[in-house]
Amino acid sequence: MNTKLPISQHPDNPHYFLFRGQPTILITSAEHYGAVINMDFDYIPYLDALHAKDLNYTRIYTGAYLEKDGDYMPNNTLGPRSGRQIVPWARSSVPGYALGGNKYDLDQWDPAYFARLRDFIFQAGMRDIIVEICLFNGQYIERWPYSPLYHLNNIQGVGTCDYKQVQSLVDQALVARQDDYIRKIIQEVNDFDNVILEVVDEPSVRDTPPADYRPWVEHLLDVISSTESNLPNKHLIAQMQESKKDSLGDFADHPQVTLVVAQYVYISYSQGAMQALDYEYEHNKPIEYNETAYYPIWYKGDKIASSRVEGWEFIVGGGAGFNHLNGLFTILDPAGKTSENEKILTGLQNLKNFMYSFEFGGMHQDVNFIKGGMPAGAYARGSSEPGKQYAFYIHHSDGGEKSTNPEDSTKYIVKPGTCQENLQLDIAAGSYQAEWIDPASGKMVHTEQFTHNGGIRSFTTPVYSIDIALRIESKAKI
């Protein structure tokens, strides 16, 4: 049994994590959550590819939600080929599962599944990778008939409700099976220190109203908490924000939710990741951006750079975790060995190196850092420990909250050019060293030392094309 304490909120700065005794930020570009449930996916090369770039996070679905082979793109890991699904429930002797093979017997667990689940988490832990276990995803009208919990896919006939009611307490027979499933997963993974438990992704999928899904999520939170209360370890519990701040679907202030999760750059009807940084930071919990647009099919323009800038902005702006959803990891190429993916992973490795060059455990989001000089159309954020260390990042992009097209608000579309700004930044009195960093290469492009009397100071950026980062550290600290 693993006797190490699970990843947790950092005791001195709850906006970040503590893992194996070290302040931690989670940064990755991960496959589409099917690493365990897809028997054709070889997860060892995948985990090795993340580890080689010092990326420390992945996310999995555990079997209540599946996709069909070919959904979204060929070789989507969350859409196993016919009969190649492996989920918590054992197969029966009765043919007729919608995606191939026999129906499921909800009274029997599949030992092979749990052996695979535990080995995946163990192998990730050997590489210092955190596994976020997403227990449920809101059911789409076309995908509810793929779930083992759908009445035609199990021999018990459980799950007769409409797809919109799966995320509710309406179907009590279904809820009972959902509870059993949660308890079993939690019991199996409790001894691992590299696990985060996520309740449900996309609880509404725009169709289940918060009045229906909030009681269901609260019920599941109780099941998780009560199950772990009788077990040695207590894990972080995440819940996605699929509602506006302070509305019925906002779980950021819920006492059982210890990790706030958001997705996409900006969502007009809900909370995108950047909105969560703006609205939920006050709750003193880590905020995680755990799903971007699906690469490469949902990005536009320079797709590599458009992927990079959202991770850099979110993390430099005070986020605790970032997961770029990467379709280049497939069953045919689980390590994602392409030149394109090399650039994506390197951009995130550079981000991790940038943040870990600070003593970031002492830093917080700094919304007053930037006082002027921001050009129209640019995005920028910063974090600081005033008088000691400052992190700043700027990029030039369309999309996000400035987009008039709702489809483009969920991502950025970078605008390459010849850029140079005269920025006005609020810096405490002291002597400092400043370094300008190219996010794509990770290289320092300019450095200077200065002494400042406090207040606003002008910084002229080097000429750059899309984005640039600034590290300022007190010379006394250095």
Interval 204-225: pLDDT, tens:
987 999 999 999 999 999 999 9
pLDDT on residue 1: 41
In a domain, 2, yes or no: no
Point out the domain boundary residue: 296, 327, 362: 362
Assess if residue 371 is contained within a domain.
Answer: yes
Question: Mean pLDDT, to the nearest integer, of 242-249?
Answer: 92
Claim to verify: residue 164 and residue 228 sit in the same structural domain:
yes
Query: Model confidence at 449, in pLDDT bands (50, 70, 90)?
Result: very high
CA dist., res. 60 & res. 31, Å (int): 9
For the purposes of burial, counting CB atoms within 10 Å of the CB of 146, is it exposed (0-12), middle (13-18) or buried (19 or more)?
Answer: buried
Q: Helix H segments across 237-335?
A: 273-280, 303-316
The predicted structure's pLDDT at residue 478: 61
DSSP string computed for 3-22: -SPPPEE-SS-TTSEEETTE
Kindly report the average pLDDT of the chain as a whole number.
96
Is residue 395, in this structure, part of any structural domain at all?
Answer: yes
- 386 and 284 fall within a common domain: no
At residue 360, the pLDDT reads: 98
User: Would you state the pLDDT for residue 269?
Assistant: 84
Higher pLDDT, 29 or 4: 29
- Quickly tell me which residue has 């040695």 as its tokens: 232
Q: What token pair was written down for 311?
A: 């991770």
Distance CA 248, CA 26 (A): 28
- pLDDT at residue 402 in the model: 86
Report, as an integer, the average pLDDT of 293-304: 97
How many independent structural domains does the chain possess?
2
Residue 314 confidence (pLDDT) above 70: yes
Same domain, 307 and 197: yes
CATH of the domain at 396: 2.60.40.1180
Range of the structural domain that residue 449 is part of: 364-474
pLDDT, mean of residues 100-116: 98
pLDDT tens by residue, 328-379: 999 999 999 999 999 999 999 999 999 999 999 999 999 999 999 999 989 9
Rg (CA), the chain: 22
Q: What is the mean pLDDT of residues 300-312?
A: 98
Same domain, 297 and 429: no
- Cβ(229)–Cβ(215) under 8 Å? no
Claim to verify: residue 349 and residue 399 sit in the same structural domain? no
Let me know if residue 422 belongs to a domain: yes
Indicate whether 453 belongs to any domain. Answer: yes
Q: What are phi and psi of 202, to 5 degrees?
A: 50, 60
State the amino acid at position 168 in one-letter form: S
